[in-house]
Amino acid sequence: MVTAVITHEDCLAHETPPGHPERPARLVAVQESLNSVEFQCLTRIEAPAAATAALVRAHSQALLDLILKDAARRAATGGFVGIDADTVMSAGSAQAALRAAGAVIRAVDGAMAGEFANAFCAVRPPGHHAERDRAMGFCLFNSIAVGALHARAVHRLLKVAVVDFDVHHGNGTQDIFYADPNLFYASSHQSPLYPGTGFASERGVAGNILNVALPPGAGSAEFGTTYSNTILPALERFAPQFIFISAGFDAHRDDPLADMQLDESDFAWATAEICKVAARVCGGRVVSALEGGYDLDALARCASAHVRALMEA
């Protein structure tokens, strides 16, 4: 079966101030890399906008009101509206965030219907720092969590899992998943680093959170060991009915925001290994969404390698 790429031009309309690393050119680089000949067989789908009913499964009404009404109204008049120290909204941001979450929902629906085997959501803003009540860290809505909770509510799945290899800890996904034993979140990330969470002692109500912090300078060997010995066995033991990937590529050696030393082959390997678990436990159902990755050339190579691994799964 085929792999789908789900994106929307509206995701380019989320603008950030000059010099901000989370910029529209990131998504342009990813989209261009996926236009090469080897990717012609991908199923390409335009992301719908997420409905409020889907967003409220992961977020409070107060956060929805802030992003979709209060801040959106102020941003519509031009200029940037600050959400936190490094998170801003422009006139196009609310729509971009709705498309980003909508992409993951569409990916879930397509995978459940057998329309495609797996899917990559090429979207921004990223999502994994967005908590139930708080947008932060370049993130407005937690798209992967919205998709995971959609899979449970609409497709009647019980156990779903998110694996997050972004170099930053996904505090938002952890927050949303923490109290539900049937939601599993596993993260590898650099520590110390923003946002300062993600210690092994943060385990969820039923051991359903798994954090592996890696030191600055960690590379392929540490990353491989983390997945082979810890994250992949725990994922398989949890036996989810659907696996999501928070696909951030900022643990690449060229990334300016962190100090890990991975290259694109490490992301391809991790993707392939996650897909092998998925083939054994959940019919191969895997949906990934772009999180970080701030060196444009490295990001393009990593996204290509990631999608190639999904296609070969």
List the structure tokens of 271: 């993707």
Q: How far is the CB of 154 from Zn ion (least distance, A)?
A: 29
Task: Decide if 50 contacts 102 (C-beta within 8 A).
Answer: yes
Q: How far is the CB of 167 from Zn ion (least distance, A)?
A: 5
Q: 198 or 292: whose CB is closer to Zn ion?
A: 292
What residue ranges bind Zn ion (CB under 5 A)? 166, 168, 248, 250, 292
Task: Identify the active-site residue in 8, 59, 128, 129.
Answer: 129
Task: Decide if 242 contacts 285 (C-beta within 8 A).
Answer: yes
Q: 3 or 271: whose CB is closer to Zn ion?
A: 271
Q: Report the residue closest to Zn ion, judged by CB.
A: 292
Q: 3 or 191: whose CB is closer to Zn ion?
A: 191
Closest listed residue to residue 264, CA positions, set 297, 228, 216, 221: 297
Helix then strand then coil, % of the chain, to nearest 5: 40, 20, 40
Instruction: Specify whether 129 is catalytic.
Output: yes
Q: How far is the CB of 138 from Zn ion (least distance, A)?
A: 8
Q: 202 or 236: whose CB is closer to Zn ion?
A: 202
- Rounded distance, CA 62 to CA 75, Å? 18
- Rounded distance, CA 106 to CA 123, Å? 13
Q: How far is the CB of 35 from Zn ion (least distance, A)?
A: 25
User: What crossing angle do the helices spanning 93-113 and 143-155 adopt, rounded to 10°?
Assistant: 40
Active site residues: 129
